[in-house]
Structure formats: C-alpha cells, structure tokens
Structure 1
Amino acid sequence: MEFTSPISQIISHLEKIQSFNAQDPLDDTRKYLDTMSLQLSGKKESVAMIEELNIPMDNYQIPIRIYRPKGKTAQKSSAIVYIHGGWFIAGGFETHDAVVRKLANKTGSAVIFVDYRLAPEHPFPAGLNDSIDAVKWVVDHAESLGIDKNQIGIVGDSAGGALAASVSTQVGELLKFQILIYPAADNQLNTKSWEIYETGPVLNKEGGIQAWNWYYPDGKNNPDPLAVPVLIKDFKNTPSTLVLIAEHDALRDEGELLAQHMKDAGISVRTRFYKDMVHGFMHMGEVLNEVEQAANEMAAFAHQHLEIAVEKEA
C-alpha cells in the first residue's frame, strides 16, 4: 500500500516509540498512547480557561475538564461534550488536550471532556454510563456552568465515537449534533479494512481483540448494541451526525457501515473521507495539515447546528 511522505514519516516514528517501564500489555498500551499524543500533537493552543471538576455519583466521581475558548463569548456558551478514544482502555485529559483546545477555539464552544472509567478495571457499561451521566449533568447544571442547555453537541473519537453513538440513542434529545471521528463500532474485526490493515498502521488486530475482550468480555454471544454500535437498529434520538473516516484505517469499513445504518434509519448523516490519513490522525498536528482541515470541518458542522454568538475582539 502507498503512503504519503508525511504518513510514512509518522509510521516510522511510531515504530520507534518504546513505552517507558511498561509493567504489562495494558500499561504498555496506555503509555504508548500518552507518548504518541505528546510527541505528535504539535503546539497546544492557548484557551481562555480550563476548569477541572468532579461529577458526584453514588459511589464514585466522574472527572471532567471544561475548556473555555479564546475570545469574548455570549453570556451563555454553547457546549460540546467530548468522549475520548483509546480502545476503551486508555486515554484521558492529557492524550486529547491538544485536540480539545483546538476544537474549543474553532467552535467557540465550551468543551466538556469526560474522563470516563476505563476497562478492564471497569468494563462495559461503566464508560457508557459515565458518558450518559455526564451529558445529563451538564444539562442539569447548565445555568451554573454558564452554558445554554439547548445548545449542546457531542463529539467522540475512535472508542469515544462508539460511546458517543450509543449515548445519542439514549439522550439524543438533549443534543443538537454529533461528530464521530473514525469510530470503533464493531467488535468482530472481520471487515475488509481489518484484513488490509491487520498489522497497522497505528492499530493492529491482536491489540484490538484484546481491547474488546477487556472492554466487553460478554460480547461474543448476543452482544448488546449499546456496546457494539454497528448493531444498533433504533437511532430514535440521534441528532444530525458528521462521521470522519480515515483511508488507511482498520476501522474504516465499520465507521462507514455505522454511518450507513444511521442513514437507513432516516438520520441526517454526512460522511467525510480523509484520503491518505491513518487512524488517530487528529493527534498528529505536528506533521499533518489535515488536522487543521478536519477541525475546521467539525467547527463548520457545529456552527450549522448551534446558535453561536461570538463577539469579535475590539
């Protein structure tokens, strides 16, 4: 397969990453994502403010970060709930910091990043429940957060795209739009794109099988569509959706299939195919111009569905 020079450069770099003092395969995966994001994301944009809060639940708390965009905004801000990727087992505040800062500034919305519970310590449905609860909490506390509860969207990448798609079927009436970035929608890993990219770049099938086993150990027989979104039949509450697909991505086919299922269910869906790109390209702003392009595209989609009033700097 042919890769562009920047992608070849990235692949070469990824092959050299060694997780420092990894204790086991899970620790290795988490540290690898941390290192990749740190080294390839590029310069982080400044934002107006970052707040860290905890959403109180019965026996635990869900940590969140609220990113306030640069510039003077309206009294009540629009908001985006961000559900991060990492194969359901990795990722957090720092892995997605550069992406979320850019998204906040581009959209003019407060971005609420949800640090949901990870597998295998907390398998399905823990991460999904945290994501649903976070959306509900933001709506319920919109006034004190300075957010317009009628101007909220959701964005998820990779595993977070799968979670966002399921969240929308449960509380989509609270959301104006959703954006799914190369979603991990199927636990079968048996598509043509998985066959082509079984050993990478970025993802590999062995790691994918392990991740799904950790996240959804009961998923072999009669899987729950909320865990495996490609099986969802009822998209009853799903808002208008933008799906970003990367060409050289093992998840390409399942992302396209999920988008098609939404279309078949009558949901307004726009699919954007990023030629030459690999999985996780939104973390590669140090090298790829497409990161800026994708961020602009997501912002334009958000603006179509939000009533954003941003005062220009004098």
Structure 2
Amino acid sequence: MKQSISYYLTLFIIRLKGIKKNFSEDPIDVFKVRKEDQHKPKGQFFKRNRLRSIEIADSVVTEVGLNKTSNQLVISIHGGAFISGPTQLHWDAVKKIATQTAQKVWLCDYPKAPENQIGTISENIYLIYQKALEEFEPHNISMIGDSVGGTLVVSLMQCLIKQTIKLPKQIILISPVMDASMTNSEIEAVEFRDPMLARKGVLSAKKLCAGKLELKDTLISPLYGEFDRFPLTTIYAAENDITYPDQKLTIEKLKESEVEVKVITGENMPHIWPLLPVMKEAELSFQLIVESLKNKVTSHQKE
C-alpha cells in the first residue's frame, strides 16, 4: 500500500523529537518522557465544553461534552508507558470524539509510576468505572484505551467479569500493550522497523510500574488472563510497532473465546497511529473509531 506524503512527514517529526531514543534508555528517563504531559486542556473549545472535573481516588476525570443531557459516555484511558500522560494527542482525540458523536467523554488522568504501581493504578480505573455505572447504564458506555491505556481497559474487563459486574457495550483498543515482559520472539524483527518504541525503554517503564509483581502477572500483562464474555472488542494494530506481536496473540485468544472482535491493521503504521496529527492515514482510522462510537451496539457476550 502506498503511503501518503503526510505519513513520511509524521515519521520525520517522530524521529526529530527523539521518541525512540527516549525509549532506548535503561533506566528510562521518566522526567524527559513527561515533558509532553498536559494535565489540563487548553483552548476555547474546552473552556466552553468542559462540563466538570471529578476527583476519584488519586485520579482526575475531566468530563467534556457538547450535550449536557447526553446519556452516552466514552471513557478514555490514555497511554504513556504508565509513567506519563495525558498529552495533547489525547485532548485532541477527546475533542474529536465530543464534537463528532455528541457523547460525553471522560478523560481519565490516573496516577503514574514510579510514584505508584500497577495495583494502585488499576484500582483507580476500577473506581472510575464504578462511578460511571452510578450515572450511566452500562449499555451506554464505551471504553477506549491507547497503548497502556489499552492494558488497563483489558485488565479491567477481566476484573469485572470475575466479579460479575456489568460490562460496557464495547471497548476500543489502540495499540494495546498486552505483555509487559516483552518476551515475544517476534519483537526483535519488528523493533528494527518501529520508529517510536524500543524494547529496552518499554521494559524499563514496565518494571517501574510492576513493583513487586512478576511482569507476566495478568494485572499488567492481560494477555495471560481470560477473555471469555468480553464485550465487542475493536483492536487497532500497527505493523511497525513492537507491541504488535502480542496483539496478534490477543486477537487469537479473543476469537478462541468466541468474542466479537474487529481488527483494523495499520499497514506500515507506527504505535497509536490513529491518534497522530497531520497524517492522512491517522485521520481515516480515527473516523472509523468515531463511527464505532456512534453506532448502536448490542451485547454479544456469552452467557
């Protein structure tokens, strides 16, 4: 497939920013990675349409929406290797979802490693979802997570199923990190093509987050958990992304569990490509996300 000019421009900007260099360090420089963090939204759109700020445990949830009476909710769990975020990319995505779906969006700024470990972080995501259930029907809730945000969404589903708590109508995973141990034998070949991530730095960040847990613990590596009764799951998987090999294994497990799963494979795409600015391929993929959120979804969970 021929890529757009904007694709090559985006790759040039990624390399210029030195993102892969940052993720080639062990230990990873947390404060350098956090330079892109933006904990509060900027601009007139958010001044007009930020409905409220909700403090839940150690998290700050920003509710954005054009329609104050909407009963539809999108819970957005951002990525950032567990050590950073949200960034402008995440606020831009919230703006697009809010304007194009008229649904309410919760951007969840949860606690980060190394100050916090995966147990605390996961508990915060659980409590955020519980708060959502107090205000919205589960069949009106969608969840979207990119990178480790996807990790947290999948881990939450496994937790909710064990506790027989009602699930959201669908989850959308953008380049989810499914195995923190990074032991998949296919990663080495992909790493050469990956313009953003390197195994060394990603693994360093995961160790900071895991604390005393094994890296293959299902809380931080949901690939090793169960997938029975998952809601409709859409996965955006980028070919030039070191997390791609484990996404393929996840897709196999979802299908074996008879979960309705939709896969959008980004040919020659980098990590979290639908969220990247400028790139035509990103814009087209993000439109698919918007359409998924706008469509009415019926549950396909196994009883």
Instruction: Give the TM-score range, shorter chain.
Output: 0.7 to 0.9
1:215 CA displacement: 1.1
Aligned equivalent of 2:126? 132
TM-score by length of 2: 0.82
| Contact 1:99/1:282, CA 8 A, preserved across alignment | no
Using the alignment, how far apart are the partners of 1:192 and 1:6 within structure 2?
32
> In the alignment, residue 168 of structure 2 is paired with which amino acid?
L
Using the alignment, how far apart are the partners of 2:179 and 2:207 within structure 1?
12
1:169 CA displacement: 1.9
1:14 and 1:84, CA in 2 relative to 1: closer, same or farther beyond 3 A?
same
Task: Point out the structure with the larger strand share.
Answer: 1
Aligned equivalent of 1:107? 101
Aligned equivalent of 2:55? 55
- Paired residues in the alignment total 281
Aligned equivalent of 1:300? 291
1:185 and 1:285, CA in 2 relative to 1: closer, same or farther beyond 3 A?
same
Q: Does 1:231 align with 2:224?
A: yes
Using the alignment, how far apart are the partners of 2:142 and 2:283 within structure 1?
20
The 5 Å alignment of 1:82-121 reads 82-92=76-86, 94-121=88-115
Select the residue among 25, 29, 35 that pairs with 1:25: 29
Using the alignment, how far apart are the partners of 1:149 and 1:273 within structure 2?
28
> In the alignment, residue 224 of structure 1 is paired with which amino acid?
D
Select the residue among 170, 178, 182 that pairs with 1:185: 178
| Contact 1:93/1:113, CA 8 A, preserved across alignment | no
The 5 Å alignment of 1:1-314 reads 5-17=5-17, 25-31=29-35, 33-34=36-37, 46=45, 49-57=49-57, 61-69=58-66, 73=67, 75-92=69-86, 94-140=88-134, 142=135, 147-148=136-137, 150-171=139-160, 173-198=166-191, 200-220=194-214, 223-233=216-226, 235-286=227-278, 288-306=279-297
| Contact 1:103/1:295, CA 8 A, preserved across alignment | no
1:149 CA displacement: 5.1
| Contact 1:243/1:269, CA 8 A, preserved across alignment | yes
> In the alignment, residue 268 of structure 1 is paired with which amino acid?
E
Using the alignment, how far apart are the partners of 2:6 and 2:256 within structure 1?
36
Using the alignment, how far apart are the partners of 1:192 and 1:105 within structure 2?
42
> In the alignment, residue 227 of structure 1 is paired with which amino acid?
I
| Partner SS state of residue 220, structure 2 | coil
| Contact 1:193/1:252, CA 8 A, preserved across alignment | no
> In the alignment, residue 85 of structure 2 is paired with which amino acid?
G
1:104 and 1:237, CA in 2 relative to 1: closer, same or farther beyond 3 A?
farther
Using the alignment, how far apart are the partners of 1:283 and 1:52 within structure 2?
24
> In the alignment, residue 50 of structure 1 is paired with which amino acid?
R
> In the alignment, residue 25 of structure 1 is paired with which amino acid?
D
1:18 CA displacement: 6.4
For residues 274-313 of structure 1, give each alpha carbon's deviation from its aligned partner in whole angstroms, at most 9, with x where no partner exists.
1121113233222x11222222211222233459xxxxxx
1:45 and 1:232, CA in 2 relative to 1: closer, same or farther beyond 3 A?
farther
For residues 200-232 of structure 1, give each alpha carbon's deviation from its aligned partner in whole angstroms, at most 9, with x where no partner exists.
3111111111111111133447x3212201101
> In the alignment, residue 158 of structure 2 is paired with which amino acid?
T
1:95 CA displacement: 4.5
> In the alignment, residue 28 of structure 1 is paired with which amino acid?
K
1:242 and 1:285, CA in 2 relative to 1: closer, same or farther beyond 3 A?
same
| Contact 2:181/2:221, CA 8 A, preserved across alignment | no
| Partner SS state of residue 107, structure 2 | strand
Using the alignment, how far apart are the partners of 2:138 and 2:49 within structure 1?
20
Aligned equivalent of 2:25? none
| Partner SS state of residue 276, structure 1 | coil
> In the alignment, residue 155 of structure 2 is paired with which amino acid?
S
1:197 CA displacement: 3.5
1:300 and 1:15, CA in 2 relative to 1: closer, same or farther beyond 3 A?
closer
